[in-house]
Structure 1
Amino acid sequence: MRLTVLTCLVAIGGLCGFAPSALADTKVLVKTRTYDISGTTGAALIEAMDRNGPKRHGFMTHAIALTAYTVNWDLDIRREGGACRLRQANGTLDLTYTLPRLASAATPALQKRWKRFFAGVRAHELNHGRIART
């Protein structure tokens, strides 16, 4: 994504008379939020996630987990010799994961199932984060 956006900025800059020799720097800020769930069965945990999970923008239902991100740009544009020059483009990717956290005591069997389930949910959300970084 960073390369695509920078390429677009340079292309637009070229059309507008900007110099295409701009430098880019990107920072990635990652936050992880959790919400508590409790229950003594897998079904109870699913119900708790459905009740307490993050609301998806534009949807009426709750998600099990959520990856949200924003991209902010700090552009250094200077006017030199009658033309605008893009000297530097610094981007910041703010990436936030929201994941369920098992807050109640669980039997060893439920803990084992939860760990396997949570590993899959976490891997899924990290993949969204990987996509946002590209």
Structure 2
Amino acid sequence: MKFLIPRLLTSVVLLMPVAEAAAADWQATERVEHYNVSGSSPMELYKSIGERGPKLSLGRVIAHTTFKLTWQRDYQQQGAACVLATAKPKLIITYTLPKPAQKLAPEVAAKWQAFYDGIVTHEKLHGQFMKDLTQAIQDVSIGLRDENDPGCKKVRAALQAQLKPISDAHVARHSEYDQVEMSPGGAVHQLILSFLNP
């Protein structure tokens, strides 16, 4: 029986409303959500992933990582000048991962754990990319200034102009990483083969 091989993909949700607040050190909140898969053998479990995995635009995937990013920004008028004094992010990263619905035989459980740990390692790097993106945005935000900007419109526009290349580089980084990991011989490809082969 043929079925589509699920792939690990990253789905990105980026929300950045503006609010005024003071900047401070930040930490991402990381969450894990599981979906159940059934089966008593590696092939049955993998087939269940293909049937129950998260559904994205390209089909079912083994796992994926999403994030929600919001900002508190403090634009300060200083005479005719405007400066973005602080920019505090709130980053929530959610990892969606498979989980067997029943207890597995010891030899299958050991193979599953190795497979699962590899999937987690892959997704956690996507999470790190999201933290890097957030830091890059904060780095270009704080101190952004225009000397003739009553109402802080120019500084806001300047910030938006800075965000596009950062976002484009972020998307490319995820894509390149997945391409390498899932290509023949790549880490994820090897992970799947090790899980399915006797």
Aligned pairs for 1:1-134 (under 5 A) are: 25-56=25-56, 58-59=57-58, 61-134=59-132
What is the CA–CA distance in structure 2 between the aligned matches of 1:117 and 1:48, rounded to whole Å?
15
Displacement of 1:47: 1.1
Q: TM-score, normalised by structure 2?
A: 0.52
Structure 1 match to 2:186: none
What is the CA–CA distance in structure 1 between the aligned matches of 2:127 and 2:81, rounded to whole Å?
38
Structure 2 match to 1:4: none
Runs of 4+ in 1 over 2 A off after TM superposition: 22-27
- Gaps (5+ residues) in structure 2? 1-21, 133-198
Structure 1 match to 2:157: none
Q: TM-score, normalised by structure 1?
A: 0.75
After superposition, the C-alpha distances for 1:70-123 in whole angstroms (9 at most, x for unaligned) are 221111112221221212111111100001111112211111111111111111
Displacement of 1:23: 5.3
What is the CA–CA distance in structure 2 between the aligned matches of 1:119 and 1:51, rounded to whole Å?
21
The one-letter code matched in structure 2 to 1:73 is: W
Residues 25 and 89, structure 1, Cα contact 8 Å, conserved in 2: no
Name which structure has the greater RCO, CA cutoff 8 Å, separation 6+. Answer: 1
- Gaps (5+ residues) in structure 1? 1-21
Displacement of 1:24: 5.5
The one-letter code matched in structure 1 to 2:33 is: R
The one-letter code matched in structure 2 to 1:93 is: L
- Identity level (%): 32
What is the CA–CA distance in structure 1 between the aligned matches of 2:29 and 2:126, rounded to whole Å?
15
What is the CA–CA distance in structure 2 between the aligned matches of 1:35 and 1:131, rounded to whole Å?
24
Displacement of 1:65: 0.7
CA 23–90 in structure 1, closer or farther in 2 if over 3 Å, else same: closer
